[in-house]
């Protein structure tokens, strides 16, 4: 007989009090309590239920649960006695015992004082867990506390980041009397995406996201409609005003709507978006994403300032019986959903490097004293402040805030971001950001509940639900090529060789947000219009005055380029003797030193060349004039332009022109004497 609470039965069937009294009663359901309430003494020894997420897994033990003792001594009370501990806390006493200690425990527990051998009938598995509570609609908010607790599971460990309803007895652990929970049953709770059902009524309500059929089928119309959705949600949900903040909200909506995986070239690739929003403090970027998450009730929020201590990815904790326990961090525990990471500039570079594989492959692998892996397909929305300047206004180009030499990310970590959007105090007046121009009492066509349903619909789209309209893939390659020409630079590798994949991800996010679907509303169909919208979006972000990525990329491209004419001019300037006293051999030694070193201190140049202060300064001045070096902490650093020059100069020295193969006579005359 299944058990159901009275309130649930009334809601489900409309039963009256008289109906309830005539029904057979099952066992009284255990009370549902917050996890931290296992610390309250009135629950000790009682069976309770609590909703939790497994954050870390400790040690696992196999201990005897049932055994038989057959003592031959006539006065022994353990003659042919069978013991079954079932779900008693005495099982915990057997953990960490040696074989001799276990045998002695079984004899004593059976009441045998002799050296009779106990025969084990059944074994039990005991697993130590680190767990934290999850929100429950039936638990009073005022009583909710999100501290992590150590609990014990009677059974094998299960998957982390999944929500469970645990049923068990509140106990004082046999060793140490610590308040704990001996879990005897774990029932998986469905996630919001798993509970989502696409009903015909919901499909009808989704029409508000679609571009009206009466509108002209142009990119301008689609762009204005997408911006209009962001503007409406700004006025009714986020209330962080201004055109550029609406653009930031649009990026957040696209991140929420990005599918887990997408097809490309006949293969599945990552579909979730990684976004970085960097800018001045107090500009509403954190408030915007928090209000959006609160409105839809989806996503996770963590701070790099505090999460870095325990690990955004994971940590090896010694919390359980002084044994190392692998505790998963905020990123893997947000698998399948969205993680907003505030103050992400405070996450150490070393930890960002561990993000690399997890963000690309969707699996976090731990190769430390404990080896493990965890699914980590996460929509990542990072919020950061510049670390080398007090404000974005101090940077000539706002995009310089993420340059690997000035930012907090290495090039390979920066490349994983699909979009970087800058915000600054100069974007608009602070009154425009935080104060609505006019009171808005109109009802939004997109309610928070409908927006939540739209996001869940996007999250439940599988690979077989995603497709391209005709000519779309060709348009993706075309737009990616244009973006690569405009913004492609190895120093800020946001749009380089993998630009087509980023364009594809953003195009699917646009198609999901605007509900470009088939008649059944099951398929997401990307069209060339969505691809052009990606171009519009990135152009609006990267050409904005607070970013100026287009201008900075053009400078970096010019700085790194080296034509044949540039090479000949630089070589002539460096190696042609300016006077009879100038030593060209010293200049070659000077260049040779840069061939094998990335950073060369001035003292090394003086020692290797033997040049005096003035002569060395003249040569360094020539390198600066031709944009070949930059000054750094460790000395003079080569630019990409200098690397290209040295590579060509070195090859030319190793393979001088072969004059023996030239004809003896030509139109210019003979080379022979």
Q: How confident is the model over 494-524, as pLDDT tens digits?
A: 998 899 999 999 999 999 999 999 999 999 9
Is the pLDDT confidence value at 434 over 80? Answer: no
By residue range, what is the domain housing residue 547?
200-556
Residues 567 and 549 in one domain: no
Both tokens of 11, joined, read 């809601």
Residues 531 and 589 in one domain: no
Per the CB < 8 A criterion, the answer to whether 570 and 645 are in contact is yes
Per-residue model confidence as pLDDT tens digits over 436-471: 555 556 778 899 999 999 999 999 999 999 999 999
Q: How many CB atoms within 10 Å of residue 622?
A: 15
Per-residue model confidence as pLDDT tens digits over 233-292: 999 999 999 999 999 999 999 999 999 999 999 999 999 999 999 999 888 999 999 999
The radius of gyration of the chain's CA atoms, rounded to the nearest angstrom, is 34
Per the CB < 8 A criterion, the answer to whether 421 and 285 are in contact is no
H-type alpha helices, 582-612: 584-596, 602-609
Per-residue model confidence as pLDDT tens digits over 284-332: 999 999 999 999 999 999 988 776 545 688 877 655 555 667 778 889 8
Residues 538 and 572 in one domain: no
Per-residue model confidence as pLDDT tens digits over 345-387: 998 888 888 888 888 888 888 877 677 788 889 999 999 999 9
Residues 41 and 160 in one domain: yes
Per-residue model confidence as pLDDT tens digits over 333-343: 889 999 999 99
Residues 551 and 566 in one domain: no
Is the pLDDT confidence value at 82 over 90? Answer: no
Of 151, 168, 189, the last residue of a domain is 189
Domain of 548: which CATH number? Answer: 3.40.50.300
Domain of 178: which CATH number? Answer: 2.40.50.140
If you search the block for the tokens 């902490």, which residue do you land on? 633
- Note whether residue 672 is domain-resident: no
What pLDDT shows up at residue 437?
56
Q: Which residue has the higher pLDDT, 577 or 484?
A: 484
- Note whether residue 194 is domain-resident: no
CA pair distance 64, 72, nearest whole angstrom:
22
Residues 20 and 127 in one domain: no
- Note whether residue 121 is domain-resident: yes
Of 493, 528, 556, the last residue of a domain is 556
Residues 335 and 390 in one domain: yes
Is the pLDDT confidence value at 391 over 50? Answer: yes
Residues 500 and 624 in one domain: no
- Note whether residue 8 is domain-resident: yes
Q: Of 468, 157, 208, which is closest to residue 320 (Cα–Cα)?
A: 157
Residues 441 and 293 in one domain: yes
Per-residue model confidence as pLDDT tens digits over 55-79: 777 788 999 999 888 887 777 776 6
* Spacing of C-alpha 129 from chain mean position: 24
Per the CB < 8 A criterion, the answer to whether 245 and 439 are in contact is no
Is the pLDDT confidence value at 534 over 50? Answer: yes
CA pair distance 398, 555, nearest whole angstrom:
14
CA pair distance 568, 623, nearest whole angstrom:
14
What pLDDT shows up at residue 318?
56
How confident is the prediction for the chain on average, in pLDDT? 84
Is the pLDDT confidence value at 162 over 70? Answer: yes
Mean pLDDT to the nearest integer, 562-578: 82
Residues 371 and 227 in one domain: yes
CA pair distance 22, 273, nearest whole angstrom:
55
Residues 40 and 180 in one domain: yes
> What pTM did the predictor assign?
0.78
- Note whether residue 430 is domain-resident: yes
Mean pLDDT to the nearest integer, 81-108: 87
- Note whether residue 669 is domain-resident: no
- Note whether residue 631 is domain-resident: yes
What pLDDT shows up at residue 438?
57
Q: Of 27, 116, 125, 38, which is closest to residue 73 (Cα–Cα)?
A: 116
CA pair distance 466, 461, nearest whole angstrom:
7
* Cα→Cα distances 202→260, 449, 523, Å: 22, 11, 15
Domain count, the chain: 4
Is the pLDDT confidence value at 178 over 70? Answer: yes
Residues 356 and 469 in one domain: yes
- Note whether residue 605 is domain-resident: yes
């Amino acid at each position: 007989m299944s058990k159901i609470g009275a309130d649930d039965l009334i809601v489900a069937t409309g039963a009256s009090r008289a109906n309830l009294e005539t029904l057979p009663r099952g066992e009284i359901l255990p009370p549902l309590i917050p996890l931290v309430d296992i610390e309250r003494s009135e629950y000790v020894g009682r069976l309770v239920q609590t909703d939790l997420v497994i954050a870390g897994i400790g040690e696992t033990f196999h201990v005897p649960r049932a055994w038989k003792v057959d003592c031959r001594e006539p006065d022994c009370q353990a003659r042919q006695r069978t013991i079954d501990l079932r779900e008693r806390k005495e099982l915990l006493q057997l953990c960490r015992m040696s074989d001799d200690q276990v045998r002695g425990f079984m004899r004593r527990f059976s009441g045998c004082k002799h050296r009779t051998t106990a025969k084990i009938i059944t074994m039990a598995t005991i697993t130590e867990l680190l767990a934290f509570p999850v929100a429950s609609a039936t638990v009073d908010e005022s009583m909710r506390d999100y501290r992590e607790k150590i609990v014990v599971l009677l059974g094998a460990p299960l998957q982390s980041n999944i929500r469970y309803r645990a049923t068990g007895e509140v106990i004082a652990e046999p060793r140490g009397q610590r308040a704990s929970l001996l879990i005897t049953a774990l029932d998986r709770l469905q996630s919001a995406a798993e509970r989502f059902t696409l009903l015909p009524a919901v499909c009808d309500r989704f029409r508000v996201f679609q571009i009206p059929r009466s509108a002209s089928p142009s990119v301008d119309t689609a762009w204005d409609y997408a911006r209009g959705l962001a503007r409406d949600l700004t006025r009714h949900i986020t209330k962080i005003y201004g055109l550029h903040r609406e653009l930031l909200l649009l990026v957040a909506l696209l991140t929420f709507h990005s599918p887990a995986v997408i097809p490309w070239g006949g293969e599945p690739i990552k579909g979730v978006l990684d976004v970085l929003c960097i800018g001045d403090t107090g500009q509403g970027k954190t408030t915007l994403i928090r209000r959006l998450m609160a409105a839809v009730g989806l996503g996770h929020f963590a701070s790099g300032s505090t999460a870095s201590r325990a690990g955004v990815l994971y940590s090896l904790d010694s919390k359980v019986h002084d044994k190392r326990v692998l505790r998963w961090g905020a990123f893997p525990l947000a698998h399948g959903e969205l993680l907003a990471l505030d103050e992400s500039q405070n996450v150490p570079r070393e930890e960002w490097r561990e993000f690399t594989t997890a963000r690309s492959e969707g699996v976090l692998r731990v190769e430390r004293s404990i080896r493990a892996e965890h699914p980590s397909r996460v929509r990542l929305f990072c919020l950061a402040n510049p670390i080398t300047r007090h404000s974005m206004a101090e940077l000539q180009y706002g995009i310089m805030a993420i340059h690997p030499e000035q930012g907090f990310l290495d090039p390979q970590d920066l490349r994983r971001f699909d979009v970087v959007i800058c915000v600054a105090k100069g974007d608009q007046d602070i009154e425009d950001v935080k104060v609505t121009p006019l009171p808005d009492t109109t009802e939004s066509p997109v309610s928070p509940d409908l927006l939540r349903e739209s996001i869940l619909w996007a999250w439940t789209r599988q690979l077989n639900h995603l497709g391209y309209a005709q000519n779309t893939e060709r348009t993706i390659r075309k737009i990616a090529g244009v973006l690569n020409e405009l913004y492609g630079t190895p120093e800020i590798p946001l749009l380089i060789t993998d630009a087509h994949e980023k364009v594809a991800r953003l195009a699917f996010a646009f198609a999901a947000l605007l509900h470009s679907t088939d008649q059944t509303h099951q398929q997401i169909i990307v069209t060339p219009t969505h691809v052009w919208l990606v171009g519009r979006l990135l152009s609006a972000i990267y050409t904005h005055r607070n970013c100026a990525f287009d201008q900075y990329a053009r400078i970096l491209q010019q700085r790194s380029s080296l034509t044949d004419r540039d090479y000949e001019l630089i070589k002539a300037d460096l190696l042609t003797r300016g006077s009879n006293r100038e030593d060209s051999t010293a200049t070659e030694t000077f260049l040779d030193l840069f061939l094998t070193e990335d950073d060369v201190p001035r003292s090394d140049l003086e020692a290797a060349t033997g040049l005096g202060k003035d002569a060395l300064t003249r040569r360094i001045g020539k390198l600066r004039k031709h944009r070949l070096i930059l000054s750094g902490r460790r000395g003079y650093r080569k630019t990409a332009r200098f690397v290209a020059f040295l590579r060509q100069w070195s090859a030319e020295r190793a393979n001088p022109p072969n004059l023996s193969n030239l004809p003896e006579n030509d139109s210019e005359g003979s080379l022979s004497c």
